[in-house]
Structure 1
């Protein structure tokens, strides 16, 4: 279940209540006249089944509540109520399959921002991966994958394509391009520093590396894994199964590929640098393609379900 807290201009309260009452899957409706102070208005509370949440939020936005009032949504971890159980039974589909497009757009917008924190995590992840590729240490590679925040802007770009949000697409693209450019540039300097300190050697990069050679030797499997990871990551975002994102992060070699390219550039090993860059591009392309197609399929399925729900009985 989702809990909605609404601040409603008094002249719109009746229409808001009507919108809530006509939406299948709503319950626990409360109206507190004049309770809101900033902005001033009426306070309306209700619970709605997750499957019907997107439709209800869309209807409230059509009433201008996001501009002249407020819409706050939070998940209900526990609801001991027969009415809530009945509301979930009436709502179409399953809660785990529901997509809250407004929530997805808001989440990916935040994760796609080119912030100092984003750059710091991506740069640190790339430097950790640099240590992993030089030492041929798979554990460090996995750790770097888990630290990297690059899935946020990848998901943001896919969401922007499906929702037709050019600003979000540009924001996500800037975060990816600038983020990896900065992280790789810093990692080149890091590699030179480690070499000067006697901790890195060019021979370590050019030696046989059975655990990490795949990073600079891309093949069709690299693209296939990226596509599968993109589907899994998108589903984890839309179904609120965020724990799956860790598995997605350690399934693709975006950060390690960028790290290997940076270290290779510092040693003028242009063959490895090119192979790693190709690996990076294949992974980014596979994730974006899979994420976009997954969102399109989910949007199509839910639009069909909502049309079926609105169709009169016997039609």
Structure 2
């Protein structure tokens, strides 16, 4: 529910009050004596979906931007006529639950901080995320998402497009581009300082840190996360619910991958930063794509209906462009996913071969103790580099041909040559009595 406060310009009192009367809207009227430009101020409650059509009709009646309108939340309205308005405008779908176009524009503006604050908060968020990644601490990484100021620019571009506010669109796109660059640079600088001061082990292997390795080689599931964040972000801002929490989800799709990209650069592994950088870009574009589609589906249109055709054409072009770019990145992520799938198959096939060899009669005294597939560091498309097999056998026994047999059997399932390291451990069993 909303309470609308509207100043009435001189000569427009009867026109505005007749609109409210025709729609059977309860209102209160007070005279305005402080300005000759206005004759009064009227207050009237409206259901959320009624705000936009009522304000549009009033504006069409000649209320220009010089007259100010204030829309605030109303906790409770007790009125038969108000209940009739709710029955008229609310039908239970997304369109009836959304806030007005005017409120949406104000909400998007309010979520975007000033440029200096935006840059400072982005730097802080990136630094905190980088520290959390190096510490392998999910809690710290989540904390970095809370302070990231990304939801405003991420959704502002979509809002600006559907309501035909090109200034908002350009500003939001600029903020997003600068935010990504600033986050990666801040993460790289901080990680370089941390490494130079030996705050972390100098021989730290990035792939051994869980929070980092999972973002060095992202898969197609990351695309689903970004699309979900975009839809949830738009629905939250359009309905005025849980915007801050959804902002954390959008930041989760952008800040940690940017931190990983910066860490990889600081570690002198630019190729390792490719996967994380692609993840940042595909997430950012997916959020924008989901936002555009969701806002248009929710029924938002430009204020000037004469520009509707031009806005629709611009929307289609932007959606088509985003779809093409996202699909290109999706193919890249699909390649990573397929490589991971192949590596998983290789690991299972290699284990089956080892167990099959050891089940033969000449190796019945041996058993598989440990099995590990070591991947190379060619991110984001990693391949098996070495297989380590630990076999237990009786004291004094030897099986010189076993290593050669395992090498041949395992490499039958590899695209290239994979080193096989066989370790023997003596196992003695003693009875108890």
Q: Could you state the TM-score of these two structures normalised by the residue count of structure 2?
A: 0.64
Richer in helix (by share): 1
**Does the CA-based 8 Å contact 1:154-1:287 persist in structure 2?**
yes
Q: How does 1:218-297 map to 2 (within 5 A)?
A: 218-241=218-241, 243=242, 245-247=244-246, 249-250=248-249, 252-297=252-297
2:75 aligns with 77
CA distance in structure 1 between the partners assigned to 2:130 and 2:298 by the alignment: 37
Change (3 A) 1:110 1:238: same
Structure 1 CA distance for aligned equivalents of residues 110 and 37 of structure 2? 24
Match of 1:50 among 43, 48, 51: 48
Counterparts of 2:15 and 2:209, CA distance in 1: 66
Return the alpha-carbon distance in structure 2 between the equivalents of residues 195 and 17 of structure 1. 69
Distance 2:100 2:279 in 1: 33
Q: Which residue of 1 aligns with 2:310?
A: none
CA RMSD for the aligned pairs?
2.4
**Counterparts of 1:300 and 1:111 in 2: how far apart (Å)?**
19
What residue is the counterpart of 2:431 in the other structure? none
* Residue equivalent to 1:125: 125
Contact 2:25–2:45 at 8 Å: present in 1 too? yes
* Unmatched segments (≥5 aa) in structure 2: 302-433
Which protein, 1 or 2, shows the higher relative CO under an 8 Å CA cutoff with sep ≥ 6? 1
2:96 and 2:121 mapped to 1: Cα distance?
A: 30
Go from structure 1 to structure 2 and tell me whether the alpha carbon gap of 1:214 and 1:223 turns closer, same or farther (over 3 Å shift).
same
- After superposition, what is the alpha-carbon deviation per residue over 1:264-302, rounded to whole angstroms, capped at 9, x for unaligned? 21221112211111010111111111111101111179x
In structure 1, runs of 5+ residues without a counterpart are 302-315
1:31–1:42 contact (8 Å) kept in structure 2:
yes
CA distance in 2, matches of 1:70, 1:111: 21
Flag the 1:222–1:47 CA change in 2: closer, same or farther, 3 A. same
Alignment-derived partner of residue 386 in structure 2: none
Specify which of 27, 30, 35 is matched with residue 28 of structure 2.
30
Instruction: Kindly tell me the number of residue pairs found equivalent between the two proteins.
Output: 298
Name the counterpart of 2:149.
149
Question: 1:231–1:291: 8 Å Cα contact kept in structure 2?
Answer: yes
- After TM superposition, give the deviation of residue 248 of structure 1 in Å: 5.3
**Whole-Å separation in 2 of the counterparts to 1:77 and 1:155:** 27
Identify the match of residue 61 of structure 1 among 59, 62, 68: 59
Q: 1:41 aligns with which of 39, 42, 50?
A: 39
Between 84-93 and 257-266, report the one with greater CA deviation.
84-93
CA distance in 2, matches of 1:36, 1:239: 36
Instruction: Give the Cα–Cα distance (whole angstroms) in 2 for the partners of residues 31 and 101 of structure 1.
Output: 25
Aligned to 2:420: none
Distance 1:284 1:202, change over 3 A: farther
Q: Secondary structure at the match of 1:177?
A: helix
Q: What's the CA shift for 1:245?
A: 4.1
Alpha-carbon spacing, 1:6–1:202, altered in 2? closer, same or farther (3 Å):
farther
Q: Normalising by structure 1, report the TM-score.
A: 0.86
Larger Rg, first or second structure (1 or 2): 2
Q: Distance in 2 between matches of 1:164 and 1:300?
A: 10
Q: What SS does the aligned partner of 2:26 have? A: strand
Q: Distance in 2 between matches of 1:283 and 1:249?
A: 14
User: Structure 2 CA distance, aligned partners of 1:56 and 1:126?
Assistant: 44
Q: Distance in 1 between matches of 2:125 and 2:228?
A: 22
Task: Look up the match of 2:85.
Answer: 87
Shifted more, 76-85 versus 159-168: the winner is 76-85
More off after superposition, 124-133 vs 243-252? 243-252
Matched-pair contact (CA < 8 Å) for 1:35–1:43? no
Distance 1:15 1:192, change over 3 A: same
- Paired with 2:194 and 2:102, the residues of 1 have a C-alpha distance of 46
